[in-house]
Amino acid sequence: MTDLGEVRAGLEAGLRAAVRGEVAFDATARALTTMDASNYRRVPLGVVAPRDADDVAAALSVCREHGVPVVARGGGTSIAGQATGTGVVLDFTRHMNRIVSLDPEARRAVVQPGLVLDRLQEAAAPHGLRFGPDPSTHSRCTLGGMIGNNSCGSHSVAWGTTADSVQELSVISGRGDLLRPGRDWAGAPDGLRALVEGELARLRTDFPSLSGLPRRISGYALDALLPEHGADVARSFCGSEGTLGVLTEAVVRLVEAPRARALAVLGYADESAAAEAAAGLLAYGPLTVEGMAADLVREGAGLPRGGAWLFVETGGDSAAEARERAETVVRAADVVDALVVTDPAAQRTLWRIREDASGTATRMPDGAEAWPGWEDCAVPPPRLGAYLRDFRALLSAHELRGTPYGHFGDGCIHVRIDFDLMSDAGVARFRLFSQELADLVVSHGGSLSGEHGDGQARAELLPRMYGQEAVRLFERAKSVWDPDDLLNPGMLVRPAPLDSNLRFAVLPRKPVDVAFGYPEDGGDFSAAVRRCVGVAKCRVMPAGSSGSGAGVMCPSFRATGEEEHSTRGRARLLHEMLAGEVVTDGWRSTEVRDALDLCLSCKGCRSDCPVGVDMATYKAEFLHHHYTGRRRPAAHYAMGWLPVWLGLVARTRTARLVNSLASLRPLAWTAKRAGGLAVERDIPRLAREPFSRWFRQRLRGQGERMLGELRERAVAEEGAGFPPDLPKTVYLWSDTFTEYLSPSVGQAAVRVLEAAGIWVYPTPAMKLRKSADDDYDSPRPNPYGILGGRACCGLTYVSTGQLDRARKVMRRTLDLLDPLLDPELTPEPPPIVVLEPSCAAALRTDLPELLHDDPRAARLAASVLTFAEALERYAPHWTPPRLDRPVAGQTHCHQHAVLGDAAERRLREAAGLTGDLSGGCCGLAGNFGFEKGHYDVSAACAEEQLLPTVRAATQDTVILADGFSCRTQLEQLAGRRGRHLAEVLAEALEGSEDDKAAGGRQ
């Protein structure tokens, strides 16, 4: 019996000698490719990233010599298991990812298999062309994967499937033969023509007609080899899931893109009504007829009234023509409500709702998990309504739930179902339901797969659709192309059982002991990690005209292009850490540690990931366990304990001395090296006077006068929800960055809030008791009692995984704020204004999730307001000063992910600050950009969106950056000073007051 270790060693050595591309057999590379976007998991021996077709041929030769199977992999978004394997995985995304040529006149492009679809669309767009099929994963799926699965997408009613867009292929067979499949038997392997000509009758009778079933993807398309279909070997190859040959290049057809588009969103009572209506709309020549139900739509999505919707896109040579066609569709449809959208940005917003459904569908409305497996069934479009009713009945019979959505115009339905795939009984139900659903689909004249292939999920059931004889014909065709069964064995023919190799089987059955509460996952860390289903929205690279690079997630992947630095890659490593087979060291794993090292904790995935993966929290959790009882990196002490060090400098009044020492390069270099910091970074200057000291002096001089004025206003305004004797009172949180590094932000916020008629009172983040160096006492007793000490959100401890310390700091904060958080004293949560977005986000999310056993934590989280939210809520009639200037800069990533920026947008608009801030992440991200080894990635993240936007700004443009990290990054990398919105408004207020004073003097 051959030892597996010997096979692996010999295989690796042979591949390294033969292949010029990367060869990786380490635990990280293997862990990253154990899964695709399906329910299945198979552990490979190694991963090869070929540089060209010669590398592919060499890798196949070595694998054939060792009897090891090969799986071709693109974006890894397949949802039936066909992008996983136990042998060698070929990753085409690293090198073989180019457009070889593009001929606009011939409307043709030559592409490599690892090319992401959006890159082809961007190249074709200036010529008025596009590739017709466009799956919802268009921003990360590859052309090779689309050909392997015969992908379709939302525009298939207009432009068909990938097979309809393929002209010629370059393929290497399992035996190493170089083939050029095309029409008229071009590129057919020896024996294929004879096989087909001996089975003409069966091919004409056992294969459902594509005219009535446009989404027949299941099985091999052997009927494309019939003489009446042009003996199209290239078309027949499409949808073969890498089992017949390895694609190295493709000649694809492009179509003319409409000059203008309009989107009609039609509201129906329910999904059945929408499904019944879909086929009738095809007569109007739409580009899309997509459907989805209300369960998949977040509140406030801007859709018309209804319980389900059809998204019907129309095209035209002008906006007016496209709109008229959309309005014609609306008039012809019997709807509850309708909406026609012509603005391209608004259309993209609505399309994102539909495209994100593959992720949002993985959670039921009550939070229960749902899974693929029956994602792509298709029936003739006129049968869709009847099929959906029978499908719903079958779900009910098995006590299962799922929300259908998808390509209603083609009769193709996507659905995630709440299978229990963790227990034996649940898996048995999964198998029985799958068998009965296959029979139901066939009874409606349908196909088990209508888009993403059969893979392991449905191949076992193909005899129910085609019959045993046709499936044996599939096996014979596979043997002609790949007699050694080297290529993706177990897919399509001689398949593994649909209930084997489930990725959940290896996970622990009992919850793992963790620090965070994971409230959305029942406190189960495994369930949190399972959130990642592999749709790979985190793998979107910076985009051009397509706009697919919007959002924040995932900045480190955008900078490096490496799977292990994507949210999905890190989730896969955590999954394997819990499984313990590939990653064997548990919480001590160096593989997981290294992958998480470049996670910026930007929290972008919390909002941008369709299923809400929160890698920042998972990273903090991992670091907490990884370093328990061990010495931490020096940066964790230098940056994690930043509030302590800065507080010490403030108490000893040595800020000027520290700044002077930091300006001495040799000394600063030594200090940075000792502290584990990036030597490329300048140490930020400390404020000579902390914000709280300035505020105490301000209160000493103005407190009683302002209080009297506000009392008089209270009689007239009777502001609701405030303490009876303090109208419009907010508590200002002095975070570490505002307190010690940017007190000007706090000073500006106080001025603006007071100008708006809001009384600003300090939280315990400022000392108000008498102390040795300050004889000041509060000008008036706090109505809730005088509070002393320093409160802290614990952000720096959380981001470095020092969760025990974070909990202590947070608990102390709750104790200090206890009078404000006591529901008997304050029935309504007191408004606490937090100026630093990252600190506000920590209070809103990290605090209640770490102290999930303390009800005060949730109460404090509910009290947190941003600067703009406070103005909007407590001074709704206040008019800010008009600046009438453009803005540039970046929305803070935590603001984007946790807090939202709607109030900030409205405040900027009211102040005449025009334009939008860029997305992405500044790259500094608190401690991340200051840590040793992170500088290059930090700078690359800033170069993706922030720095180009700021460099392109005109002289009169206001550079906005509410986060201290963002302002620091701008200053250090671009030499530009960014300002908090409060600073901009305060400056304008002072300017208007000066103008009034000058007018009075005149």
In this prediction, residue 711 has a pLDDT band, given cuts at 50, 70 and 90, of low
Q: Which of 566, 574, 623, 575 lies closest to 598, judged by CA?
A: 566
- Any bridge partners for residue 48, and if so which? 23, 90
In this prediction, residue 593 has a pLDDT band, given cuts at 50, 70 and 90, of very high
Phi-psi region of 29 (alpha: psi -120 to 50; beta: other; left: phi over 0): alpha
In the numeric block, which tokens belong to residue 460? Answer: 């076992």
Q: Give the C-alpha separation, 661 to 82, whole Å.
A: 60
Where helices occur in 817-911 by DSSP H, the ranges are 818-821, 837-841, 847-850, 855-863, 867-874, 893-894, 902-910
Query: What confidence score (pLDDT) does residue 783 get?
Result: 35
Phi-psi region of 580 (alpha: psi -120 to 50; beta: other; left: phi over 0): left
Given a contact cutoff of 8 angstroms between Cβ atoms, the answer to whether 843 and 873 are in contact is no
In this prediction, residue 705 has a pLDDT band, given cuts at 50, 70 and 90, of low
User: Cα-Cα-Cα-Cα dihedral of 123, 124, 130, 135, to 10°?
Assistant: -10
* Share above pLDDT 70 across residues of the chain, in percent, rounded to a whole number: 92
In this prediction, residue 548 has a pLDDT band, given cuts at 50, 70 and 90, of very low
Q: Give the C-alpha separation, 170 to 92, whole Å.
A: 14
Given a contact cutoff of 8 angstroms between Cβ atoms, the answer to whether 960 and 946 are in contact is no
In the numeric block, which tokens belong to residue 828? Answer: 């309504």
Q: Give the C-alpha separation, 344 to 76, whole Å.
A: 30
Q: Give the C-alpha separation, 746 to 760, whole Å.
A: 11
Average pLDDT of the segment spanning 403-426:
93
3-state helix, strand, coil in the chain (%, to 5): 45, 15, 40
Q: Does domain 258-361 have CATH number 2.60.40.1120?
A: no
Query: What confidence score (pLDDT) does residue 200 get?
Result: 95
Q: Give the C-alpha separation, 929 to 677, whole Å.
A: 9
**CA 498 to each of CA 34, 452, 495, 623: distance values in angstroms, whole numbers, following the listed order:** 17, 16, 8, 37
User: Cα-Cα-Cα-Cα dihedral of 873, 874, 877, 878, to 10°?
Assistant: -110
Buried b (16+ CB within 10 A) or exposed e, 727-736: bbbbbbbbbb
In this prediction, residue 297 has a pLDDT band, given cuts at 50, 70 and 90, of confident
- Any bridge partners for residue 99, and if so which? 111
Q: 888-901 pLDDT, tens per residue? A: 999 999 999 999 99
What would the DSSP string read from start to end of 388-399?
A: HHHHHHHHHHTT
What would the DSSP string read from start to end of 634-655?
A: HHHHHHHTHHHHHHHHHHHT-H
pLDDT for residue 363 is more than 80: no
pLDDT for residue 874 is more than 60: yes
Burial-class residue 601 by CB neighbours within 10 Å (0-12, 13-18, 19+).
buried
Q: 72-120 pLDDT, tens per residue? A: 999 999 999 999 999 999 999 999 999 999 999 999 999 999 999 999 9
Q: 323-334 pLDDT, tens per residue? A: 999 999 999 999
Where helices occur in 653-794 by DSSP H, the ranges are 655-662, 665-674, 691-717, 736-740, 743-755
Q: Which of 100, 75, 92 lies closest to 252, judged by CA?
A: 100
Mean pLDDT taken over the chain: 91
Query: What confidence score (pLDDT) does residue 838 get?
Result: 97
Q: Which of 525, 526, 552, 527 lies closest to 538, judged by CA?
A: 552
Query: What confidence score (pLDDT) does residue 722 get?
Result: 43
Sign for the CA dihedral angle at 924, 927, 928, 930 comes to: positive
Average pLDDT of the segment spanning 439-449:
96
Q: 815-833 pLDDT, tens per residue? A: 989 888 888 887 887 899 9
Q: Give the C-alpha separation, 181 to 168, whole Å.
A: 6
Query: What confidence score (pLDDT) does residue 997 get?
Result: 52
Side-chain-facing half-sphere of 623: CA atoms under 13 Å: 28
Global pTM reads: 0.91
SS3 295: helix
Average pLDDT of the segment spanning 222-250:
97
Query: What confidence score (pLDDT) does residue 294 get?
Result: 83
pLDDT for residue 707 is more than 80: no
Q: Give the C-alpha separation, 780 to 707, whole Å.
A: 9
pLDDT for residue 908 is more than 70: yes
Average pLDDT of the segment spanning 146-154:
95
Query: What confidence score (pLDDT) does residue 786 get?
Result: 30
Q: Give the C-alpha separation, 219 to 56, whole Å.
A: 25
- 245: phi then psi, degrees, rounded to nearest 5: -170, 170
pLDDT for residue 782 is more than 50: no
**CA 950 to each of CA 393, 682, 718, 803: distance values in angstroms, whole numbers, following the listed order:** 57, 20, 44, 36
Phi-psi region of 490 (alpha: psi -120 to 50; beta: other; left: phi over 0): left
Q: Give the C-alpha separation, 564 to 91, whole Å.
A: 13
Our CA angle for 967, 969, 973, nearest 5°, is 125
Contacts of 519 (CB under 8 A, 6+ apart): 848, 849, 852
Q: Does domain 99-256 have CATH number 3.30.465.10?
A: yes
pLDDT for residue 544 is more than 70: no
- Which carries the bigger pLDDT value, residue 424 or residue 358? 424
The amino acid that residue 959 corresponds to is I
In this structure, the strands spanning 729-733 and 337-341 are: unpaired
